[in-house]
Amino acid sequence: MDNIIQINNEGEHAYDIIFSDSFNLLKSELEKFNIEKKRICIVTDSNVASLYANEIKSLVDMICKQCIVVQFNAGELSKRQETVNKIYEVLVKKKFDRKDILIALGGGVVGDITGFVAATYMRGIDYVQVPTTLLSQVDSSIGGKTGIDFKDHKNIIGAFKMPKLVYINLNTLKTLPEREFNAGMGEVIKYGLIMAEDFYEYLNKNIAKIRSRDLETLSNVVYMCCRLKKVIVEDDPYEKNVRKILNFGHTFGHAIEKCKGFEYLHGECVSLGIVAASYISYKIKQIDSDTFNSIKNTLASYGLPIAVSGIKANDILREILNDKKMHSGYITFIVLKHIGKVNFYKVNFHNMPEDEKELLINAIETITIENPQ
């Protein structure tokens, strides 16, 4: 495995993803941005601050003009304008200007918020992603999607803003709580299903090693996901077409996240969404029942939920329709053509034929089977 992947944007080098088993190389990577004259703000959350903020601050303190740390409460409920405002306040108070840099130290929520602040503070300031969760290392730190939730809508306010660097210390995965680690596997399995059958097989063959967090196997997994994501974001950086396939399982997943009041982690909801989307693939005769069952088994083998209790199928459907109302008259579900390849399945929801509505309800019921109606 190389320890670097270069990401290009419109044919030009945009940023590197660095893979390491420590934070030691971060100093020399940051020095490439002439940071001796810059201020650095490390943005992190209450879970990650006590683990790594001091270590990063000591590294950075030596090489920049000033380094400060801002932290907020961990969790999706912090992904809101109020948190962004608190960070703006600190930046203004400490006189940060356009030459300075933010470091997002943490998981997906930290990366999304920090990226959004970076996209908007003084019309744009550089930022570096230092993802510490599996989900953020394989997905959210790459590709420049930033954003926050607003009212009932997830990720509805945001901007594309490419980081200057993504620095992955694989050893941070060792301190991840098991539930968080498993949730990250939801996104990992998604890559195999939508893009790479051989990778999906690798995941099925190495369950014990991956779940015991064998560093070499995990390095292969994270590296492979980043290679796959590189292909997509270089081809379609602003999600006009092919990048949409990364949303496999997310239409159902986001609706479940909301219906459960964010009690389930994003990756857990993606797992449930993958089951529902795979059910559609099976029912429209793209994949067979053995493949559908094997997908459920793989997700369950990684400790991911494949069914959820306490929500009604109709509530999830209503949530999906609400969410999509603003986009157009259609919902496009990403479904599987076979393992390693996807298709689009478009539903006109203003005028939804009864059989399509039944298919969606059945797909949702597949994951709400424990639900006392």
Site residues for ligand GLY per CB under 6 A: 139-140, 143, 145, 239, 243, 246
Closest distance to ligand GLY from the beta carbon of 146 (Å): 10
- From the candidates 145, 154, 161, 296, give the one annotated as an active-site residue: 145
> Where are any strands of DSSP class E within the chain?
4-9, 12-20, 39-45, 66-72, 101-106, 126-131, 145-150, 153-160, 165-169, 330-338, 341-348
- From the candidates 39, 57, 190, 229, give the one annotated as an active-site residue: 229
Is 187 labeled as catalytic in the residue annotation?
Answer: yes
Closest distance to ligand GLY from the beta carbon of 236 (Å): 9
Sign of CA dihedral 90, 37, 125, 115: negative
Query: What kind and span of H or E run contains 355?
Result: helix 354-367
143 closest CA partner among 233, 25, 272, 14: 233
Choice between 17 and 53, CB closer to ligand GLY: 17
Is 254 labeled as catalytic in the residue annotation?
Answer: yes
> Where are any strands of DSSP class E within 200-354?
330-338, 341-348
The structure tokens 């304008």 sit at 81
Is 351 labeled as catalytic in the residue annotation?
Answer: no
Give 24's DSSP letter: H
Kindly report the backbone phi and psi dihedral angles of residue 239, in degrees, each rounded to the nearest multiple of 5, phi listed first: 50, 55
Closest distance to ligand GLY from the beta carbon of 149 (Å): 15
Other C-beta atoms closer than 10 Å to the C-beta of 201 total 13
Is 123 labeled as catalytic in the residue annotation?
Answer: yes
- From the candidates 266, 268, 319, 365, give the one annotated as an active-site residue: 266
Distances (CA, A) of 342 to 245, 254, 265: 7, 19, 24
Choice between 144 and 305, CB closer to ligand GLY: 144
- From the candidates 29, 76, 239, 356, give the one annotated as an active-site residue: 239
Closest distance to ligand GLY from the beta carbon of 316 (Å): 21
Distance of CA 305 to the CA centre of its chain: 18
Residue nearest ligand GLY (C-beta atom): 246
Is 153 labeled as catalytic in the residue annotation?
Answer: no
Is 250 labeled as catalytic in the residue annotation?
Answer: yes
- From the candidates 164, 190, 250, 258, give the one annotated as an active-site residue: 250
Choice between 38 and 145, CB closer to ligand GLY: 145
Is 234 labeled as catalytic in the residue annotation?
Answer: no
Choice between 29 and 236, CB closer to ligand GLY: 236
Choice between 57 and 145, CB closer to ligand GLY: 145
- From the candidates 247, 257, 258, 268, give the one annotated as an active-site residue: 247
Rounded Cα distance between 331 and 346, Å, is: 6
Closest distance to ligand GLY from the beta carbon of 246 (Å): 4
Strands 39-45 and 66-72: parallel
Grouping H, G, I as helix, E, B as strand and the rest as coil, residue 42 is strand
Is 243 labeled as catalytic in the residue annotation?
Answer: yes
Closest distance to ligand GLY from the beta carbon of 145 (Å): 5
Strands 341-348 and 330-338: antiparallel
- From the candidates 243, 312, 324, 338, give the one annotated as an active-site residue: 243
In the chain the first and final C-alpha atoms are separated, in Å, by 50
Can you state the angle between helices 266-283 and 250-259, rounded to 10 degrees? 130
Contact 315, 254 (CB under 8 A): no
Distances (CA, A) of 50 to 44, 71, 94, 256, 359: 10, 10, 23, 31, 47
Choice between 145 and 258, CB closer to ligand GLY: 145
Choice between 266 and 296, CB closer to ligand GLY: 266
Catalytic residues: 123, 145, 187, 229, 239, 243, 247, 250, 254, 266
